[in-house]
């Protein structure tokens, strides 16, 4: 079986596909990946033995801008390139993780009668996935409560695939690799793959209050390390190798509320404080993700508009005071093997076409 995977524009549209592709490759299937011509996605896939193809991609915006006119041409060109590619590669099934590069591939797959499975990580579907919905056979979601309106195919709750390294984290390895020698609990702070200027500023201002209680590992983003030398404070631009080990060691994690980061926090049962990106800096998806986690009792949330060193320290203190309640709620979070579920859905979807059985009729959410 040949699976064509697409997604891009950010690491969140690429990294969750890696466990799926690794599982498919291990089972002897052929896998190809379509990303942007810039090759950003290929850099994230260096360790995965897949053929990479780049196409033109235009950003899909929800607001009026002259850039939409320019990018509309890129979308059209991307559809033409994707159509040629799908016809040449002749995949049995397409897996779309979303992002603006995915829509041309999804449309091309539909035009070539190749079944397409889409996956939505956020609590509410993003624009690319909403535009893609008419051309999907199956839509899989990270959260069982994700609202999907007007979709005529099958909706399946699968969760989000977690990298094996996240599932096998070792606290002892983390202490050795990152030279964490203090006998204090670890506070892990991350603003996402690109860092977070506002969060970085507040964390550094709060160090006098935090360091007596915690050893702090701060992932602050490329080019954002500052000349601060304080015992127990460790800055990193980005961490890949050993991230799962740090997760396993951390007592409290302060994070943005991106869908993949949130799913890792909930799946691994980590005590967490969320600082979602405000609506002005995003489509509001992190606000929705954080609100869901807050309502379920999984997370404590501080809006960025209220974030300062005082509220940060108070929030962490509140988490620790109510640790038992949060841990009980996190323990109740439904954990599923997303990699297995998504791989099975792809095999079934390809099989329905290869065997000539047509489009599945079951439209209920599993």
- The predicted-structure confidence for 158-199, as pLDDT tens digits, reads as follows 999 998 999 999 999 999 999 998 789 999 999 865 558 899
> What pLDDT, in 10s, does the model give residues 133-154?
999 999 999 988 888 888 889 9
**How many angstroms separate the CA atoms of 64 and 78, rounded?**
21
Calpha distance 251→272 (Å, rounded): 9
Q: Output phi, psi for 40, to 5 deg.
A: -55, -45
Quote the pLDDT of residue 146. 85
User: Is the pLDDT higher at 82 or at 47?
Assistant: 82
Dihedral of alpha carbons 302, 320, 191, 223, sign: positive
Q: Where are the beta strands (DSSP E) in 57-201?
A: 93-96, 116-120, 138-141, 154-157, 186-190
**Residue range 38-63: mean pLDDT, rounded:** 82
What is the CB-side half-sphere exposure of residue 22 using CA atoms within 13 A? 15
Could you give all domains of the chain from N- to C-terminal order, each with its CATH number?
2-159+336-354 (3.40.50.2000), 165-331 (3.40.50.2000)
Checking if the pLDDT of 354 tops 80, the result is: no
């Amino acid at each position: 079986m040949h699976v064509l995977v697409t997604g891009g524009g950010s690491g969140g549209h690429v990294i969750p596909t890696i466990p799926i592709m690794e599982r498919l490759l291990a089972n002897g299937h052929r896998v190809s990946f379509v990303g942007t011509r810039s090759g950003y996605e290929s850099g994230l896939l260096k360790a995965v033995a897949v053929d990479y193809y780049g196409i033109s991609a235009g950003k899909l915006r929800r607001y009026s801008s002259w850039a939409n006119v320019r990018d509309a041409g890129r979308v059209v060109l991307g559809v033409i390139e994707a159509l040629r590619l799908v016809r040449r590669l002749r995949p049995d099934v397409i897996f779309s993780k979303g992002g603006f590069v995915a829509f041309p591939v999804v449309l091309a797959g539909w035009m070539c009668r190749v079944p397409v499975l889409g996956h939505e990580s956020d609590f509410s579907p993003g624009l690319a996935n909403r535009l893609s919905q008419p051309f999907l056979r199956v839509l899989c979601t990270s959260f069982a409560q994700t609202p999907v309106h007007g979709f005529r195919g099958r909706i399946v709750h699968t969760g989000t695939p977690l990298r094996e390294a996240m599932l096998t984290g070792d606290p002892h390895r983390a202490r050795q690799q990152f030279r964490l020698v203090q006998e204090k609990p670890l506070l892990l702070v991350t603003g996402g793959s690109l860092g977070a200027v506002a969060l970085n500023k507040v964390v550094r201002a709060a160090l006098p209050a935090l360091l007596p209680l915690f050893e702090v590992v701060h992932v602050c983003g490329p080019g954002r390390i500052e000349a601060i030398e304080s015992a127990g404070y460790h800055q990193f631009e980005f961490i890949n190798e050993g991230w799962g080990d740090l997760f396993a060691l951390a007592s409290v994690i302060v994070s943005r509320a991106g869908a993949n980061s949130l799913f890792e926090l909930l799946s691994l049962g980590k005590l967490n404080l969320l600082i979602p990106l405000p609506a002005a800096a995003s489509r509001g998806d992190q606000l929705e993700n954080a609100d869901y986690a807050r309502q379920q009792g999984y997370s404590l949330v501080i809006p960025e508009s209220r974030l300062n060193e005082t509220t940060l320290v108070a929030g962490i203190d509140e988490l620790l005071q109510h640790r038992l309640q949060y841990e009980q709620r996190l323990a109740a979070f439904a954990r599923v093997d997303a990699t297995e579920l998504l791989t099975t859905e792809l095999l079934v979807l390809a099989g329905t076409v290869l065997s000539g059985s047509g489009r599945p009729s079951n439209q209920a959410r599993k």
